Structure 1
C-alpha cells in the first residue's frame, strides 16, 4: 500500500487521543471512565500501555528498514490484543450493572485494527541484487 505508513501513523495518533476520551459510563456510580482515569474502580490505567505501543509503532512506521516493519507488526498485534482485552473488560456487566459504552472505547479498537492492517502492508521498495557471472 502506498500510504500505509501514514495511515498507521494517523491511527496511532487516533488511539492516543482516544485514550483520553470517555470509554464507558457507569450510571450506578455516576462515573465516566477513560483509559487514563478510572477513578472509583480497580481497572488501572490501560491507556498508558496503549500510548507506549503507539509511540513505538509510530517510530517503527517511519523507519524505512525491513526489520522495523517486521517488529512493527508485533507491536501492532500486541496493541490490538490489548484493545480487545480492554473492550471485553470495560464493556462487561458486573453485579447487575451494565456500563454504557462510549465512543472512545470503539475508537481505540478501530485505531488498533487500522494500525495492524497498515503494518501488514508496508510500503517497501525491494531491490534485487544482480548476480555477477
Structure 2
C-alpha cells in the first residue's frame, strides 16, 4: 500500500488519543471510565499499555528498514490483542450491571486493527541483487 506508513502513524496517534476518551459508562456507579482512569473499579489503567505498544510502533512506521517493518508486526499484533482483551473485559456485564459502551473503546479497537493492517502491508521497494554469471 502506498500510504500504509502514514495510515499506521495516524492510527497510532489516534489510539493514544482514544486512551483518554470515554470507554464505558457505568450507571450504577455514576462514572465514566477512560483507558487511563479506572476510578471505583478494579479494571486498572489499560491505556498505559496501549501507549507502550503505540510509541515504538509509531517510530517503526517511520523507519525505512525491513527489520523495522518486521518488528512493527510484533508491536501492532500485541496492541490488537490488548485492544480485543480490553473490549471484552470493559464491555461485559457484572452482577446484573451492564455498562454502556462509549466511542473511545471502539476507536481503540478499530485503530488497532488498522495499525496491524498497515504494518502487514508496508510500502517497501524491493531491490533484486543479481548474482554474477560464472
Alignment TM-score, normalising by the size of structure 2: 0.98
CA drift at 1:34: 0.1
| Displaced runs of 4 or more, over 2 A | none
Structure 1 segment 1-133 matched on structure 2, within 5 A: 1-133=1-133
Q: In structure 2, how many angstroms separate the alpha carbons of the residues matched to 1:121 and 1:60?
A: 14
CA drift at 1:56: 0.7
CA drift at 1:25: 0.0
Q: In structure 2, how many angstroms separate the alpha carbons of the residues matched to 1:58 and 1:132?
A: 39
Q: In structure 2, how many angstroms separate the alpha carbons of the residues matched to 1:58 and 1:95?
A: 39
Unaligned runs of 5+ in 2: none
CA drift at 1:130: 1.8
1:43-75 deviation line (CA, Å, top 9, x unaligned): 110000001111010011011111110110111
The aligned length equals 133
CA drift at 1:131: 1.4
Q: In structure 2, how many angstroms separate the alpha carbons of the residues matched to 1:12 and 1:75?
A: 11
Matched residue SS, 2:33: strand
CA RMSD, aligned part only? 0.5
Q: In structure 2, how many angstroms separate the alpha carbons of the residues matched to 1:132 and 1:64?
A: 28
Alignment TM-score, normalising by the size of structure 1: 0.99
